[in-house]
């Protein structure tokens, strides 16, 4: 048996053995809660950073804020301070990116897959008809362009 437990994020399409799953679950069970919270918050913050300017980016930031507030009295102050600082920076970046998205939208650029302004998931996409004007690559919106 390997000393390295199964890590689902490193899965290569091959199903882990029952022994690997048990080892991973045992490692997760023994991990300090602050480590688990830090890893979850880090994943949410990274996703929010990628989605800056979008409504789903705002949702991810709100989720980290809720996680931080719920754990504030039970987590180390150093961790909650780090989360507060990261949230402050990303919230400012979110507001700036939302302005850029609004400007791009006013110019006719759109980005698929975002939540609407009310936070609802977008409707299922209808099958796309082939473009008859510019290529799809020329219609991509890139933040800051």
Report if residue 24 sits inside a domain.
no
- Domain membership of residue 117 (yes or no) is no
Is the residue at 60 inside a domain? yes
Whether residue 119 lies inside any domain: the answer is: no
pLDDT digits (tens, 9 = 90+) for 37-92: 999 999 999 999 999 999 999 999 999 999 999 999 999 999 999 999 999 999 99
Global pTM reads 0.69
Output DSSP code: residue 32: -
87 belongs to a structural domain: yes
What average pLDDT score do residues 105-128 get? Answer: 70
What 3-state class would DSSP assign to 46?
Answer: helix
Q: In the prediction, which pLDDT does 134 show?
A: 44
Residue 106 lies in a domain: yes
- The DSSP letter of residue 27 is H
CB-CB contact of 63 with 105 (8 Å): no
Residue 58's domain spans which residues?
33-111
The domain total for the chain is 1
Residue 26 in any domain: the answer is no
Q: Is residue 93 part of a domain?
A: yes
């Amino acid at each position: 048996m390997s000393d390295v437990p199964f890590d689902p994020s490193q899965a290569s399409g091959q199903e882990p053995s029952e022994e690997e799953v048990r080892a991973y679950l045992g490692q997760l069970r023994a991990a300090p809660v602050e480590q688990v919270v830090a890893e979850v918050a880090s994943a949410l913050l990274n996703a929010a950073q990628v989605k800056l300017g979008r409504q789903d980016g705002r949702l991810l930031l709100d989720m980290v804020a809720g996680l931080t507030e719920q754990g504030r009295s039970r987590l180390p102050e150093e961790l909650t301070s780090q989360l507060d600082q990261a949230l402050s920076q990303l919230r400012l970046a979110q507001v700036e990116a939302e302005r850029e998205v609004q400007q791009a939208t006013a110019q006719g650029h759109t980005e698929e897959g975002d939540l609407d302004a009310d936070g609802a998931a977008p409707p299922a996409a209808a099958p796309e008809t082939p473009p008859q004007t510019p290529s799809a690559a020329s219609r991509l919106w890139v933040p800051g362009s």
